[in-house]
């Protein structure tokens, strides 16, 4: 073998590197498509997709390494076969979004492979003709191309992830504005506001909303009244029993809810608090209490002690220090904790299901799920109600996401 320059030894075209990552991913996507075709029982398409998976695997093994031409001579026909399979399935299949997407995952990777193995610097390199001039040019080009290809891959991946996330959302939107009770059907083929009228004009929705608001606001107030002093004490004072109490607060978060579900129910029943908002408020503020205390402790820790000491020197009592200095300073943090307990109470399902047996006491989660019983499901009304309920919540969540996540990770992980 002739001696190779450093550039030659270093050089692998960015395109080939990209293919090394993309082709397995394409195989993976086609494996998913194969699962779909198995469900559909479409023998021909299934055979095509399985063949494509095998061919992609072979293609990955035969990607050129720049040493000789034989790999390119094997890889190019394989890519061509996949391309032909893609064209075939595109022509034969119906033009539904799903089938178009499936054929795209045959066409694009194979076409890119063919192009990059044939043309340009990467083509020359794959043919085994990569001399030092090609390598030097190519290394320069790589600096330009590699980040772009990486971005392309990243965006493709993220767009697929977003597609998976968004599907139920789009579906709810579509069902909410579609007439009747249709679950499938084309997206955006009809428009009506009937479901919103039914839901907002009916009595049930407002009863549930009122219960949810009372419970969530009550939980927030009671929860904060309990959690703020405790969080402050844990943050500032070194008192007997501090360590034990903090450990207990952490341990309780780990406790399975089901263990206390039955006794909780019995206690509420004996106290006559079933089917009341007060029962739920008490239950929620106590179950959310440990996490709230931990979150608040973290926030109070961040308030400098020097301020308090100065206030004490100026003659403030401890209570005044807390109310006039610490509380106003950590107000944003308190707001986040409040939002957190509000959201918890707003979304909670299991306790509300167990404690409430009458429609008048239902909160929104139980009420909305009661619209989907085993028979007589009102999907359209449910979807409309879901939109009305979740849009404000999602907006709140998105606006405060950073702070919420920060507080939550402080409460759950660091603890």
Residues between 181 and 240 that touch another protein (CB under 8 A): 182-185, 225-227, 229-230, 232-234, 236-240
Considering CB under 8 A, how many residues would be counted as binding another protein? 104
CA distance 42 to 99: 12
Q: With binding defined as CB under 8 A, does residue 40 bind another protein?
A: yes
CA distance to 60, 310, 330, 343, per residue, from 323 (Å): 67, 15, 11, 26
Candidates 59-67, 83-91, 246-254, 334-342: pick the segment binding another protein (CB under 8 A).
Answer: 246-254
Contact of 208 with 362, CB cutoff 8 Å? yes
Smallest gap from Cβ 80 to another protein, in A, equals 29
**Binding to another protein in span 311-370, by CB under 8 A:** 318-319, 346-347, 349-350, 353-354, 357, 365, 368-369
Q: With binding defined as CB under 8 A, does residue 32 bind another protein?
A: no
Smaller CB distance to another protein: residue 79 or 352?
Answer: 352
Sequence-separated (6 or more) residues with CB below 8 Å from residue 36 = 98, 102
Q: With binding defined as CB under 8 A, does residue 16 bind another protein?
A: no
Here the tokens at position 296 are 């608040």
Write out the H or E segment, with its range, that includes residue 359.
Answer: none
Contact of 34 with 46, CB cutoff 8 Å? yes
CA distance 233 to 298: 12
CB atoms within 10 A of CB 117: 25
**Binding to another protein in span 252-311, by CB under 8 A:** 252, 254-267, 269-271, 282-283, 285-287, 289-290, 293
Query: 86-125 mask for another protein (x: CB under 8 A)?
Result: --------x-xxx---------------------------
Query: 376-415 mask for another protein (x: CB under 8 A)?
Result: -x-x--xx--x--xx--xx--xx--x---xx--x--xx--
**Binding to another protein in span 63-92, by CB under 8 A:** none
CA distance 227 to 295: 9
Binding residue for another protein (CB under 8 A) from 3, 91, 168, 201? 168
C-alpha distance across the termini of the chain, in Å: 61
């Amino acid at each position: 073998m002739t001696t190779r320059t450093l550039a030659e030894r270093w050089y692998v075209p960015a395109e080939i590197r990209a293919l090394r990552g993309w082709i397995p991913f394409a195989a993976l996507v086609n494996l998913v498509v194969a699962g779909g075709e198995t469900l559909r029982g479409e023998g021909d398409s299934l055979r095509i997709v399985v063949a494509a998976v095998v061919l992609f695997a072979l293609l990955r093994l035969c990607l050129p390494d720049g040493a000789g031409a034989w790999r390119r001579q094997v890889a190019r026909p394989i890519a061509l076969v996949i391309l032909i399979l893609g064209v075939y399935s595109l022509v034969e299949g119906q033009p539904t979004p799903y089938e178009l997407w499936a054929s795209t995952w045959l066409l694009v990777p194979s076409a890119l492979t063919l192009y990059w193995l044939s043309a340009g610097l990467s083509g020359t390199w794959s043919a085994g003709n990569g001399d030092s001039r090609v390598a030097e040019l190519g290394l320069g080009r790589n600096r330009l191309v590699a980040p772009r290809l990486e971005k392309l891959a990243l965006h493709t991946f993220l767009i697929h992830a977003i597609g998976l996330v968004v599907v139920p959302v789009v579906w709810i939107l579509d069902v909410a504005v579609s007439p009747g009770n249709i679950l499938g059907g084309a997206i955006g083929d009809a428009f009506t506001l009937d479901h919103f009228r039914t839901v907002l004009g009916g009595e049930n929705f407002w009863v549930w909303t009122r219960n949810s608001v009372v419970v969530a606001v009550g939980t927030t107030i009671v929860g904060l009244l309990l959690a703020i002093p405790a969080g402050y004490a844990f943050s500032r004072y070194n008192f007997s029993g501090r360590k034990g109490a903090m450990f207990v607060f952490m341990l309780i978060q780990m406790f399975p809810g089901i263990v206390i579900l039955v006794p909780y129910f019995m206690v509420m029943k004996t106290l006559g608090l079933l089917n009341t908002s007060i029962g739920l408020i008490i239950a929620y503020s106590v179950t959310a209490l440990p996490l709230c205390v931990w979150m608040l402790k973290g926030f109070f820790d961040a308030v400098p002690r020097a301020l308090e000491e100065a206030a004490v020197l100026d003659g403030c009592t401890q209570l005044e220090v807390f109310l006039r200095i610490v509380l106003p300073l950590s107000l944003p943090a308190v707001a986040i904790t409040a939002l957190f307990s509000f959201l918890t109470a707003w979304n909670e399902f299991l306790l509300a299901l167990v404690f409430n047996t009458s429609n008048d006491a239902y909160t929104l989660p139980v009420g909305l799920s009661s619209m989907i019983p085993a028979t007589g499901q009102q999907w359209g009304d449910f979807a409309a109600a879901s939109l009305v309920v979740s849009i404000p919540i999602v907006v709140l969540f998105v606006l405060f996401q950073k702070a919420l996540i920060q507080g939550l990770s402080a409460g759950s992980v660091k603890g």
